[in-house]
Amino acid sequence: MNNDDALIEGEEHRNANGDEGRGVVAVVVILVGAPGSGKTTFCNAVMSAARRAWVRVCQDTIVNGKAGTKVQCLKAAADALREGKSVLLDRCNLEQEQRADFVKLGGSRADVHAVVLDLPAKVCISRSVNRTGHEGNLQGGKAAAVVNRMLQKKEPPKLSEGFSRITFCQNDKDVNDAVGMYCGLGPSDKLPSGVFGQKSKEAKVQLGIMKFLKKVDKDQSQSSFSRETRKSDSCAMEIENKNEDKKEKVDQSTSHSTSLSDVPTLAFPSISTSDFQFDHGKASDIIVETIAEFLQKAKNVRLVLVDLSHKSNILALVWDKAAKKSIDSSKFFTFVGDITQLYSKGGLRCNVIANAANWRLKPGGGGVNAAIFSAAGEALEVATKERAESLSPGSSIAVPLPPSSPLYQREGVTHVIHVLGPNMNPQRPNCLKNDYVKGSKILRDAYMSLFENFASIAHSHAKRENVKDLKAKRESFNDSETSKKYKGFFTSDDEHNNEHEQLLAEIRSDTSKFIKSSEKEKNSAESRKRTWSSWALALHEIAIHPEKHKGVVLEMSNEFVILNDLYPKAKKHVLVLSRLDGLDSLEDAKKEHLPLLRSMHSAGVKWVQKFLSEDSSLSFRLGYHSVPSMRQLHLHVISQDFDSTHLKNKKHWNSFTTMFFRDSVDVIQEIEQYGAAKVSGDEKLLAMELRCHRCRSAHPNIPKLKSHIANCKASFPSNLLQNCRLLSASSVTTAESK
């Protein structure tokens, strides 16, 4: 056994027997490229803006800044993985033999990726010749011969070597996209497997805007499409099959014509097949089935399935199955492009786009979700928060985009529909562990919910257009001299105004249904008034008769009492308890309770100041449980160390670290604006995986979570650092000075 084999075998043994509890899977990124391809620049760019800990391993500098051996690189990479860090391997790695030992570092604790910097030879040679101060001293005239010689031995990496993901970069844009992808990779995030960006010699593809109508009416062609317009607005895409003797033309629409520009159009990505790793075959069946079912009922709408790559497996599967099912290609087609730039870059006008969201409805995480939030700007995040703070698998929520949003202004997108499908990725929350019976039902529900929300938007769009048309007709007749001749044309008893009356009747009907629905919901809420068990009445008894419980009450006023939590979940944990009879939980709080809520909040802040004067290292949150286990509204004032023997299970942890816990400042603001606070009472929140409240890393059990948070030095999530949700010595001092 040679040194390399011994080192790899030892590391595999450590991977198999150590760190079983790690929730974070590290990544080994093996850069593949000739000198001058930009490997070092790639590493520096990722490390300067990354969301996880990276270590660069470079053979040119492995020994205190000087060149070393491959074995030393292997040891440095293995040491970094053992510390829970990810690795960027800065070597040429152009031959399979050079990569093999590094691939073996993967396993249960590390995914192994290849990033191939496949830039043109002349670019690499030019950079190598012209650079100065290179770490390996490969520069000047000798560099050209070295680059040429190395490129002659180039063996592109394959998945069969042991890689889980291979990304090919042919130009600077591809490289920048890859850098951005790895910069955005969070501590517990995992990229989808497969080969991305590889050029296909067999496929003859011309990317561009593609026409979906197989036959265009001759008169419409003359009026709406000139020959020049058709040439500039559409092109055909030819794809050769594996036998190279059978060709298929795929025509897709640009939606650039006058006749189609006003048709409500939904562009949506494939849900759950990327980060959530849902089987493509099963997903494509569900997509086609739900589209066919929806289009049988929906009129004058279009659906567009979008993916970034023309080599997309899911696009090919869906297109083939949709054709076999004879789905009208004027109502549904697939499209290759960036879903945030469909009009500006592809000429495809879509007024509604779908976002494959995360359950928190937050930006980030990479992929479609990050791209849409980024393109829409802060307006989307604000508008989303006004409607919901979390999403359950199989459901969706439509969010109107404010006109100030860049996505609205540039692309004409009026609505974003967030939708959440099932998860088959064990590295992400709520994994179904290959339960495709349940998963298929959730995915079908997700698509149906998405299409129903789109139908509602399209219906509202149609109503507005009808009203506009009627107003235009009325103004036209009022302005004309012939209006006198047609006096009464727009009166309710005239046959020509039937359309207007029908529209008004429909609006009245919708309003009536909404009112009845609201009343029904209110009555249902009243009937659901909780019956509290005897133990759950303990706080109510203290609130109503605090004089009988002087031994536990720390402070008392006419509005509230303050006491230590009997089972504290942190070093400092007190309750500010309302004394108002009938105010049982957050759900009961209305605008008339705002003075009381503000008083309770102020009392909580004073106790935070007291605790901070004793221990300035602590940080605090003030908030309510969405669905409390004990009667009587009470505000938790809890330090964020969570150092307590009473914190024993998922329910304890998630009740204070998920959307189940509503910050006091947000509750007050929501009641001021909407008359009620949003209650995230989904029991699934309490059953979620255990994640650190600072760095969001996942952990298998409470002991390992506690061990982690005792040493975690990551900063708190940005949302907690806003709007005084998190109180610390510095924030309290700042607030007092203002």
Q: Is 634 a catalytic residue?
A: yes
SS3 728: strand
Task: Report how far residue 219's alpha carbon sits from residue 223's, in angstroms, rounded to the nearest whole number.
Answer: 6
Q: Which of 727, 523, 731 is nearest to 636 (CA)?
A: 727
| Angle formed by the axes of helices 280-297 and 313-324, nearest 10° | 50
b (16+ CB within 10 A) / e for 229-249: ebeebbbebebeeeeeeeeee
Q: Report DSSP state, residue 455.
A: H
SS3 690: strand
In what helix (H) or strand (E) does residue 169 lie, and over which residues does it extend? Answer: strand 165-169
Inter-residue contact 627 to 585 (CB < 8 Å):
yes
Q: To which residue do tokens 């109502």 refer?
A: 331
DSSP string, 144-206: HHHHHHHHHT-----GGGT-SEEEEE-SHHHHHHHHHHHHT--TT--PPPEEES---SS----
* Residue 266 phi, psi (nearest 5): -110, 120
SS3 476: helix
User: Can you read off the two tokens belonging to residue 713?
Assistant: 């030095």
SS3 616: coil
Task: Report how far residue 604's alpha carbon sits from residue 68's, in angstroms, rounded to the nearest whole number.
Answer: 59
Residue 166 CB: number of other CB atoms within 10 A?
23
Residue 372 CB: number of other CB atoms within 10 A?
23
Q: Which of 288, 297, 280, 214 is nearest to 249 (CA)?
A: 214
Inter-residue contact 332 to 295 (CB < 8 Å):
yes
C-alpha distance across the termini of the chain, in Å: 69
Q: Which residues contact 336 (CB under 8 A, 6 or more apart)?
A: 207, 306, 307, 308, 309, 310, 312, 315
Residue 680 CB: number of other CB atoms within 10 A?
17
- Of the residues 418, 634, 693, 708, only one is catalytic, namely 634
Task: Report how far residue 610's alpha carbon sits from residue 604's, in angstroms, rounded to the nearest whole number.
Answer: 10
User: Can you read off the two tokens belonging to residue 446?
Assistant: 């997700």
Q: Which of 33, 162, 58 is nearest to 101 (CA)?
A: 162
Q: Which residues contact 590 (CB under 8 A, 6 or more apart)?
A: 671, 675, 676
SS3 56: strand
Per 3-state DSSP, the chain is made up of helix, strand and coil in percentages (nearest 5) of 45, 15, 40
DSSP string, 420-436: E--B--TTSSSB-TT-H
Per DSSP, helices labelled H in 153-263 are 172-183, 218-224, 227-233
Taken in order 184, 189, 190, 191, is the CA torsion positive or negative?
negative
Which are the catalytic amino acids? 634
